[in-house]
């Protein structure tokens, strides 16, 4: 199968006044279509930066990012947002739910961006929320939810469009271990049944090594690219 994500000599430097932070340094890897990969590394090692760059939410200082065969550096902002909406489902570390929308509306939103007909959006969002055990919370606002419930809404929103690529930043960080493992099982089923490429960032050793492949980041560099048996 072909590569769906490729980073070539990607570096990211943040400039803060006189200080420079090298968040990523010469990062190279490719992920094939249908792979399930975990990214692990200590806090501040560059994991979220890497995820934001893969998802075209941020641009590298140097190097190339090739997503679904396209060199993203040559794309306009409009083309990038089309690529994101059509191809990628994000679970953000801080959830990023829209505070003035209900749970149901939050999950319906990416369906609108993906131009799914209005009549179909509600039913699809309901199914995605039911799957996350949130049938009773659909009309709530995000601030009325616990951290773990918000996280599950974020996962429903990322999966509802059946994207080609799911990028999940600590998707089990706010969940108890049983719920966390259920989420990973859901991702594995989506990966197996739909061939979706899944990249998860995790601090949890058990979850990280349950993926067939783990990329270890340390101080912005790839330290190890490991196949788990
Ligand atoms: N917008 C920014 N401006 C300046 N520095 C930043 C910015 N975003 C990240 N950094 C810095 O880049 C480095 C990598 O940050 P990143 O968020 O990618 O780490 P992480 O591996 O996701 O950490 P965590 O596990 O705590 O979420 C850190 O030193 C961080 O302070
Ligand atoms: Mg992070």
> What pLDDT, on the 0 to 100 scale, is given for residue 187?
95
Structural domain count, the chain? 1
Structural domain boundaries enclosing 71:
3-227
pLDDT of residue 216: 98
Residue spans of the chain under pLDDT 50: none
| Structural contact between residues 24 and 50, judged by C-beta atoms closer than 8 angstroms | yes
Ligand 1, residue 12: give the atom nearest the CA.
12
Query: For the segment 38-76, what is each residue's pLDDT rounded down to a tens digit?
Result: 999 999 999 999 999 999 999 999 999 999 999 999 899
Which DSSP symbol is given to 95? -
What per-residue confidence (pLDDT) applies to 184? 94
What's the 23 CA to ligand 1 centre distance in angstroms? 6
CB atoms within 10 A of CB 62: 13
Q: What angle do CA 166, 218, 220 make, to 5 degrees?
A: 75
pLDDT value at residue 1: 67
Mutate to test the pocket of ligand 1, among 38, 41, 44, 208 (most ligand atoms within 8 A of CB): 44
CB 163 within 8 A of CB 196: yes
- Take atom 27 of ligand 1 and give the residue whose Cα is closest: 43
Look up the pTM and report it. 0.95
Ligand 1 neighbours by CB, cut-off 6 Å: 14, 16, 21, 23, 41, 43-49, 93
Structure tokens at 219: 């101080």
- Ligand 1 atom closest to 220 (CA): 14
Distance 86 CA to ligand 2 centre (A): 24
CATH number where 129 lies: 3.40.50.300
């Amino acid at each position: 199968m072909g590569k769906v994500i490729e980073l070539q000599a990607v570096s990211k430097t943040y400039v803060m006044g006189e200080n420079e932070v090298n968040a990523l340094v010469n990062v190279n890897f490719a992920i094939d279509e249908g792979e399930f990969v975990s990214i692990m590394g200590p806090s501040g090692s560059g994991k979220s930066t890497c995820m934001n760059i893969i998802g075209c939410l941020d641009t590298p200082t140097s190097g190339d990012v090739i997503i679904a065969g396209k060199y993203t550096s040559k794309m306009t902002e409009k083309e990038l947002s089309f690529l994101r909406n059509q191809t990628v489902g994000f679970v953000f570390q801080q959830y990023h739910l829209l505070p003035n929308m209900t749970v149901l509306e939050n999950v319906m939103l990416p369906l609108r961006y993906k131009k799914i007909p209005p009549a179909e959006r509600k039913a699809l969002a309901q199914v995605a929320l039911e799957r996350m055990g949130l049938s009773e919370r659909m009309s709530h606002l995000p601030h009325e939810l616990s951290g773990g419930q918000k996280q599950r809404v974020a996962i429903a929103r990322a999966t509802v469009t059946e994207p080609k690529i799911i990028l999940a930043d600590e998707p089990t960080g706010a969940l108890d271990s049983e719920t966390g493992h259920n989420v990973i099982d859901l991702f594995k089923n989506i990966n197996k049944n739909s061939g979706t490429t899944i990249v998860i960032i995790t601090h949890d050793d058990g979850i990280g090594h349950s993926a067939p492949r783990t990329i270890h980041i340390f101080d912005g560099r790839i330290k190890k690219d490991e196949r788990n048996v």
